[in-house]
Amino acid sequence: MSRRTDFPLLVRNPGMHYLDSAATAQKPRVVLDALRTFYETAYANPHRGSYALSMRATDAYHAARERIARFAGAVDSTGVIFTRGTTEAINLLATAWGRAAVGPGDEIVVTRLEHHSNFVPWQQLALAQGAAFRIAELTPDGDIDLDRLRRIVTPRTKVVAVAHVSNVLGAEIPLQEITAIARAVGARIVVDGAQGAPHIPVAFDERGIDAYAFSGHKLGGPMGIGVLVARREFLESMPPYQMGGGQIEFVNDDRTTWAPLPNKFEAGTPNVGDAVGLAAAVEYLDGIGMAEVARHARDLSAIAVRELRLVEGVRVFGPPITARCGVVSFTLDGVHPHDLATILDQDGVAIRAGHHCAQPLMRALQVPATARASFAIHNDASDVTALVAGVRKAQAIFGGVGTPAHAAAR
């Protein structure tokens, strides 16, 4: 069941088929209401203000952290660090922990399907520290080759960094098996949950991982806020990422001590409004139920894969139909993905086109770019129908495989 009426932008644009939630999700009304209510009733600088309005802002910030911790399945909310997004959360770890813990001869392991945000920070850390940078390759079906991963993870491996869900293939990564491989050699396990958290329970405490990062805007929350959930001992083992107001315990002339978690990693004025908005977003998702959110996206993905494969000249990338988390990447013979996206947009179908910040994966797929449709709780079968119709229209315009123009050209 589509919940399109919960999303004001889509209500205002009834002819729009928004299929780009993997890039950023539309905002349900409850998130917009939460933002407006905070700024109209509780806006002030939190923490040390000794007046009532500041105390209300402090309470709102604290309550947002607690709500998001529950969504993430983390009992200890002090391990929930607010960042600007997944990218900053991973850079925090690669910088604050990595520079202190990784040295010459050590190893860092990522996978071939990582988003640049979970590839480049670790690559650059390896270059700076003289560590070896290892890439876990894929099977012909596009899955992580676990046997090869076991061979490249050694006692010198300091961290294994993996996506929870591929932003190109829509495949859920076998975190349990990968975590066991990392744990067997004492390596840290860091998870990019930008595509996982919108569809799959984070269940942080249950997974036994060290850190999980996700972005608010991909969950229907505001842009400009993200979350790093990490084990207390992991966070306490590393120095701050940034320094300034709010994360100081005491400043001497010759040294400074840091505030307890989570303040240690939240220098500067807190982004209270967006934290409140993100808390409203996860409340909305939990109200629907993450199992239903996941089922809805998987069902629509399955329909899209089946329908697209009926179009001659379409190549769909990724796992079997039943193993997708709301993402379908494909190409159309004779039509560049950017051209395809432009034609689809003429009929109100919004998709993504490009390398999706995953150039190492594109090289493995042997394509420069793909078209990508991604599904959320506000989509329904009519969006798939519009997508497939647009693909056929593009094929006709460019004289692709299966069209009269293509037959005449032959």
So which residues are the catalytic ones?
357
Helices 290-309 and 272-288: crossing angle in degrees, nearest 10, is 80
For the chain, the C-alpha Rg in angstroms (whole number) is: 22
Residue that is written with structure tokens 């990490």 in the block? 230
- Cα–Cα distance for residue pair 154/120, rounded to 1 Å: 21
CA distances from 246 to 91, 96, 163 (A): 20, 18, 31
**Parallel, antiparallel or unpaired: strands 327-332 and 314-317:** antiparallel
CB contact at 8 A, 112 and 360: yes
- Cα–Cα distance for residue pair 65/347, rounded to 1 Å: 41
Residue that is written with structure tokens 């990422």 in the block? 241
Main-chain dihedrals φ then ψ at residue 307, nearest 5 degrees: -70, -40
Q: Which of 118, 62, 131, 125 shows the shortest CA–CA distance to 360?
A: 118
CB contact at 8 A, 16 and 380: no
- Cα–Cα distance for residue pair 312/318, rounded to 1 Å: 18
Main-chain dihedrals φ then ψ at residue 160, nearest 5 degrees: -115, 120
Main-chain dihedrals φ then ψ at residue 48, nearest 5 degrees: -80, 5
Bridge partner list, 324: 171
Bridge partner list, 110: 135
